[in-house]
Chains A and B, each alone.
Chain A
Amino acid sequence: MNTRRTTTPKSVQASRLNRRDFLIRGGLMGAGALSLPALLAACGSDSGSTSDTVGGGGGDSSLFFENWPDYMDEETIDLFQTASGVSMKYTEAFNDNNEYFAKIQPAMSKGNAIDPDILAPTFWMAARLLQLGWVQKLPKADIPNFAYLRDDLRGQSWDKNDEYHLPYQSGIAGIAYNSKITGRDLKSVSDLFDPAFKGKIGMLTEMRDTIGLILMGEGKKIADITTFDQASVAFDKLGKAKSEGQIRSFTGNDYVDDLSAGNFAACVAWSGDVLQLSKDNPDVKFIVPEEGGTSWYDTMVWMKGSENGDAVAKWMNFLYDPVNAARLTAYVQYISPVKGVQDELVNMGGDNAKLAEDPLLFPDTATFSRLQSWGALVEEEEAKFDEAFASVTGA
């Protein structure tokens, strides 16, 4: 889901590949044979490079956290280093779940450690990493602040005893619309399929959010879905809408531009983005449809091969202190997985106290009850979902 934060950096990467591609192609021009192998070769060498970045290993006093772009304030890191004595390396090169997976796969699948100790993939990717045996059990005995984890995030189907992951931030996928274009308020998933908005509807490339929302529109409970057949109705509906030209494009983060420019009348969107956007453009609104919205979370996992368990525990414990969690929320403006953040925001006063009132940061119980989240999909079923989604998106 975090593709939202990711598109710009991811795209920069794409353009870099492309430039390199140009150069290689140019060089090979005389030979008259070329092109995509160079691109793939570039992808390949790129993938390998994670493990070559500056080393974060070593004793207990160091920690390397690779996170999504623009997902933490620097103050938090400084405070942590001072408080714990751990020297922390923090980078934001995690741009996209699938791409990052492709990047670490060569090393991890050979049983080699990657440099980061902690990653914060979206929950389904964390589940995949666990399934592949690439993550370690967290040193929970040393994380007393685990007690502050929100109840609804406990006992997830892929990690029933909360042994392998600790949520970093969470959020909602629902519908955003530009009321200037729609001319009316939207409230339901079916509004996305209203012929009046033909060619003005955007969908997310994040399969679970787009398909999840459509499934809820069809009255399904997405937590119960374990096979592709149970979800095929949503793919059919989406495929039909695509062929009829209802859907303008599938986007990552860039839907924000399309929405405020009026290219999209409505689209599947993430709450955090729209919260930001609506400040500049009051026409843009976000709703959790009456049929329901998907809830997602990015979650911290301790990568296999990392020996910095002590520092990992110190970090997670620090982050789950409501005071620190509140400071993070004030910066990233997503839904915190930590209990007590709302009170701490009020204590912080000023603009932060206003955040404590925000229904998209602290959804009321009525909204919360409409949220659903995906369970884990087994390997073959997930492959079917991804393939079907690729064929709908045209790739």
Chain B
Amino acid sequence: MTSVVSAGKKWGASLASRPENVGLGVMLGLGFGAVALAAQWVKGPSSLLVAIAMLTMVVGLIYIAFAGGIEARKSLAPYGLLKPGMIWLCLFFLAPLWSMVVMSLSSKAGRFDFFPDFTWNFENYRIALTKFRPQFIRSFSYAAIATLLTVVIGYPLAYFIAFRGGKYRNILLGLVVVPFFTSYLIRTLAWNNILADEGPVVSLINTLQITGVFESLNIMQNGKLMNTPAAVIGGLTYNFLPFMILPIYVSLEKIDVRLVDAAMDLYSSASQAFRKVVLPLSLPGLFAGGLLVFIPAAGDFVNAQFLGNPQTTMIGNSIQDQFLRQLNYPVASAMSFVLMIIITIIVLIYTKFMGTEDLA
């Protein structure tokens, strides 16, 4: 009996002497356990075992933290701080992702087969990539155009607020965020009224007799603005604009204006100073803004649904339709996964060219 206790103590002591390994081990163990439970790798009684194992790890960790003294606690702290985020990601990102991948390779026996069997059914991916190719292409083009537009609109605005805002800076920033006090959907539906055929914008364009200009730019179709690709891209741009302005503002605001003065002192023109000093220093903000706008815009379905026409549907609409109407969970999962992969690739390429080292 005593030997068992002493062996246990010894084992405990040897672990306690390397608390960072324990910290890492417990973190990975808990993460794995969380995924196993959430993705239902284990079910019924064995899930109880996993839960007990996870609890034991936590109890052991607390014991070591107390037994090991201040040094042990110091080396455990970083893992302790990582744990909430890690478990969160395991439960709500990794586990659903796993279920989604499994689902995307499953096949249904009938329309109302709600428990498709996993069969390595790559047909789902073929459907996602062929039948829904137009929607994919459209989504990425719309998102790319919307991202560019947010830069064109957002950069000067952020620049103005950061350098010319003066004491009104906070008010101006607040105004940028104010639209978020309203529901996303209401903001989108408001565009419906603004762009309506008898609405203010179209009436103004008609009064100025410049409909032809807009038609030739392909912004208007048949004399209407609403339910055109331009309306969808406009909606995306409007809805995601603050996500571009805020990061750019943050990086501009940090720039020491004396750097610009220094550039001027060295005989650079205003535009040279901007190109060589301000712009490079604000790139991290542009980079972050680009991601924050492009990624949600590519998956958006609200703007296309309410501002678009049957020929402007985006991939989000198609996934929603496959999921909720066609009840085709495997194909919907495959489409989501493809979307995710493409976005990841785009982000990686983008990161390669824009660089993230300076991303604050």
Q: Chain A: residues with CB nearer than 8 A to chain B?
A: 11-12, 14-15, 18-19, 21-22, 24-26, 28-29, 32-41, 43-44, 98-99, 101-102, 105-106, 109, 128, 132, 198-200, 242-243, 245, 247-250, 254, 257-258, 261-263, 379-380, 382-383, 386-387, 390, 392-395
Contact = CB atoms under 8 A, between A and B. Distances in A.
B299 A36 contact: yes
Interface of A is mostly: helix
B323 A12 contact: no
B196 A35 contact: no
Interface stretch (B40-48, B209-217, B218-226, B264-272): B218-226
A32 B323 CA distance: 25
B4 to A, nearest CB: 45
B107 interface: no
A34 B343 contact: yes
Contacts of A250: 310
Nearest to B115: A109
Interface residues of B, number: 70
A35 B114 contact: no
A35 B340 contact: yes
B100 to A, nearest CB: 5
Interface of B: 89, 92-93, 96-97, 100, 110-112, 114-115, 135, 183-186, 189, 192-193, 196-199, 221-222, 224, 226-227, 288, 291-292, 295-296, 298-302, 305-306, 308-313, 316-327, 332-333, 335-337, 339-340, 343-344, 347-348, 351
30 contacts: A14-B185, A15-B183, A15-B185, A15-B302, A18-B184, A18-B302, A19-B184, A21-B296, A24-B93, A25-B295, A25-B296, A29-B291, A34-B295, A36-B339, A37-B100, A37-B336, A39-B299, A40-B323, A41-B96, A101-B327, A106-B114, A198-B222, A242-B311, A243-B311, A245-B222, A248-B224, A249-B308, A263-B198, A263-B226, A395-B313
Contacts of A383: 111, 326
B347 A32 contact: yes
B214 to A, nearest CB: 15
* 5 tightest A-B CB contacts, nearest first: A15-B185, A395-B321, A394-B313, A36-B336, A41-B96
Given A249-B308, A261-B197, A382-B111, A35 B339 contact: yes
Given A21-B296, A392-B310, A33 B324 contact: no
A22 B296 contact: yes
Most chain A CB atoms below 10 A, which of B302, B313, B321, B344: B321
A38 B343 contact: no
